[in-house]
């Protein structure tokens, strides 16, 4: 039996860890899983509601690191995580995504000679200004098993000199959570609460420092959203960091419906009924691809190019004119009838991940 520590640090991690944990619990003769929550995201809105919606148990270990600069937060995770490894002596540590908790836990394991599996390995934006890109590259460099979501990620890893035998194309575990919870999300009343009609509104998410830490950039994006809101209802669940910056820079949001951060099921119910999604998130590019919802990515690059090649994603950057033009074009079109779904985005990635750990 393999003892596996599953690392969950921030909201994007939770929906990737949940199906893997559930699969391991179903295969109790083969796996003994433990959830380690670093506390990088914390509180009811950013953490607790996601655990409840995903039917994940309370974490076996909670490090409670909280918010801080990149350096301080990464260091705190490393300091708090090392004693857990000494106590638990796992066969594998499984890290997901590209947040600070991902690289911090991977580094500690690498120093101690504990095997690391990286879920969502090989994604590259080619933009080293993104903290997430640094986390991705470094985590892949020290991991023993690289579990990829798409074949372009395999090519990225091979190009960086990673041996083929370490790389396994398993598909997208994020889509496991989407497929499992889409029907369940219909129990949410978020659309009714906000008086929304399916297919007649747009949804926005915005949190990356490059977009929200600069007043001019954030103001330009918000101005474009206010213009779009003249043609379609725009709903914006606001990340705490983004709300603080909107207040600090005294940016106007007239006509845009701002809400508090939403739980997993509420947010899924919200975006799954949208006519258009505008985001700087990575996961939403993938989920909208599977659902066939037009997605405008408010960045100059993406580590998920397959969502452009096969999906509904368009890179529009942060120029207000480009954003407004792309939104107008997307709103004028009908939802595509022939949705192209990338290979192995079939809701069964967690099973393949478990198989590879055993292998």
Distance from C-alpha of 340 to C-alpha of 288, rounded to nearest angstrom: 11
Distance from C-alpha of 118 to C-alpha of 104, rounded to nearest angstrom: 13
Distance from C-alpha of 192 to C-alpha of 45, rounded to nearest angstrom: 20
The number of angstroms, rounded, from the C-alpha of 162 to the middle of its chain's C-alpha atoms is 24
The number of angstroms, rounded, from the C-alpha of 63 to the middle of its chain's C-alpha atoms is 21
Maximum separation of any 2 CA atoms in the chain, in Å: 58
- Collapsing DSSP to helix, strand or coil, 341 comes out as coil
Beta carbons of 124 and 157 less than 8 angstroms apart: no
| Residue 207 falls in the annotated catalytic set | yes
Task: Kindly write down the DSSP assignment for every residue of 89-121, as one continuous string.
Answer: --SEEEEETTSHHHHHHHHHHHHHT-EEEEEEE
Distance from C-alpha of 4 to C-alpha of 308, rounded to nearest angstrom: 34
Nearest by Cα to 281 from 346, 250, 222, 237: 237
Beta carbons of 351 and 168 less than 8 angstroms apart: no
The number of angstroms, rounded, from the C-alpha of 172 to the middle of its chain's C-alpha atoms is 11
Task: Give residue 220's region: left, alpha or beta (phi > 0; psi -120 to 50).
Answer: alpha
Distance from C-alpha of 210 to C-alpha of 218, rounded to nearest angstrom: 9
- Within 10 angstroms of residue 206's Cβ, the number of other Cβ atoms is 23
| Options 41, 118, 181, 207, the catalytic residue | 207
DSSP state of 217: H
Which secondary-structure segment (H or E) carries 58?
A: none
Quickly tell me which residue has 């989920």 as its tokens: 287
Give the catalytic positions in this structure. 207
């Amino acid at each position: 039996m393999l003892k596996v520590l599953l690392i969950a640090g921030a909201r994007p991690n939770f929906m990737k860890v949940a199906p893997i944990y559930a699969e391991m619990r179903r295969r109790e003769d083969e796996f003994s899983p433990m959830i380690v929550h670093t506390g990088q995201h914390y509180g009811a809105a950013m953490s607790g509601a996601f655990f409840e919606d995903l039917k994940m148990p309370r974490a076996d270990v909670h490090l409670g690191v909280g918010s801080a600069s990149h350096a301080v937060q990464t260091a705190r995770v490393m300091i708090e995580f090392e004693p857990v490894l000494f106590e638990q002596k796992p066969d594998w540590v499984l890290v997901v995504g590209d947040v600070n908790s991902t690289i911090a836990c991977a580094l500690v394991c690498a120093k101690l000679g504990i095997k690391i599996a990286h879920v969502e390995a090989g994604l590259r934006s080619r933009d080293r200004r993104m903290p997430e890109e640094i986390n991705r590259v470094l985590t892949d460099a020290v991991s023993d098993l690289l579990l990829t979501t798409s074949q372009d990620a395999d090519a990225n890893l091979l190009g960086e000199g990673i041996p083929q035998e370490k790389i396994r194309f398993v598909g997208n575990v994020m889509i496991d959570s989407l497929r499992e919870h889409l029907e369940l999300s219909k129990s949410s009343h978020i659309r009714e609460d906000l008086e929304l009609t399916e297919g007649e509104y747009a949804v926005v998410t915005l949190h990356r420092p490059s977009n929200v830490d600069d007043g001019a950039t954030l103001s330009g994006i918000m101005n474009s959203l206010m213009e779009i809101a003249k043609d379609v209802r725009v709903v914006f669940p606001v990340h705490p960091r983004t709300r603080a910056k909107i207040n600090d820079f005294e940016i106007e949001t007239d006509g845009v419906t701002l809400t508090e951060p939403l739980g997993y099921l509420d947010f899924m119910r919200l975006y799954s009924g949208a006519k258009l999604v505008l985001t700087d998130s990575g996961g939403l590019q993938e989920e909208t691809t599977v659902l066939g919802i037009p997605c405008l990515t408010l960045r100059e690059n993406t580590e998920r190019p397959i969502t452009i090649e096969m999906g509904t994603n368009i890179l529009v950057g942060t120029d207000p004119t480009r954003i407004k033009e792309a939104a107008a074009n997307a709103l004028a079109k009908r939802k595509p009838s022939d949705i192209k779904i990338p290979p192995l985005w079939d809701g069964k990635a967690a099973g393949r991940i478990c198989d590879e750990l055993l292998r």
